[in-house]
């Protein structure tokens, strides 16, 4: 969290606030998250493999009503910090915000921007180059490997 405190912020407004959901409250968040949309036969992690904690990134509307980018920077900063401590995580934007606000009694001054799920990874993440068919969908095998296609360097740079 202290890394997130130091991130760059447009106009240095620092409109983000954080709701830390620790181990005891974790089950109250899980039902309101949508996991891995491309894995259509998977409803998210089963009990026992679910995130140990969450950080809910909120914007404080009394500071800014138009937080365009800061939450993305905050999310990646938190994840890098987690990985440096041998944890893993996932940024989740598909959130039932109304239900989560109600469940956690989050004051109306705050808007949920993103949820960060944190825990100790169960799977290996393997980066693949996107092949000729251009498919960007991630997929899994039965040995605990999660494959993530990424575009080639030449395909993301438009001038040389
Ligand atoms: C802004 C943003 C929103 C995301 N929302 C979700 C989500 O709602 N549910 C989910 O399971 N993953 C979500 N993800 C995770 C992406 O699916 C993941 O980053 C992508 O598949 C690439 O995998 P990688 O992060 O392992 O490289 C989100 C990622 C970002 C950056």
Mutate to test the pocket of ligand 1, among 93, 122, 148, 151 (most ligand atoms within 8 A of CB): 93
The closest of 4, 51, 57, 59 to 29, measured between CA atoms, is 51
pLDDT digits (tens, 9 = 90+) for 4-62: 999 999 999 999 999 999 899 999 999 999 999 999 999 899 999 999 999 999 999 99
Q: Check: CB of residue 137 under 8 Å from CB of residue 38.
A: yes
pTM of the model: 0.96
CB-based pocket (< 6 A), ligand 1: 34-36, 90-94, 125, 138, 148
């Amino acid at each position: 969290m202290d890394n997130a405190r130091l991130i760059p912020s447009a106009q240095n407004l620092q409109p983000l606030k954080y709701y830390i959901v620790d181990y005891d409250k974790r089950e109250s968040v899980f039902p309101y998250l949508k996991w891995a949309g491309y894995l259509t036969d998977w409803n998210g992690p089963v009990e026992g493999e679910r995130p140990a904690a969450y950080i809910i990134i909120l914007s404080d509307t009394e500071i800014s009503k138009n937080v365009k980018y800061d939450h993305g920077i905050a999310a990646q900063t938190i994840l890098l910090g987690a990985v440096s401590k041998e944890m893993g995580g996932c940024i989740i934007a598909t959130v039932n915000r109304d239900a989560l606000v109600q469940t956690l009694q989050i004051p109306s001054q705050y808007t949920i921007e993103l949820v960060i799920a944190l825990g100790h990874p169960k799977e290996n993440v393997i980066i693949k180059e996107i092949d000729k068919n251009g498919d960007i969908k991630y997929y899994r095998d039965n040995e605990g490997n999660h494959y993530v296609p990424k575009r080639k360097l030449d395909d993301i740079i438009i001038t040389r």
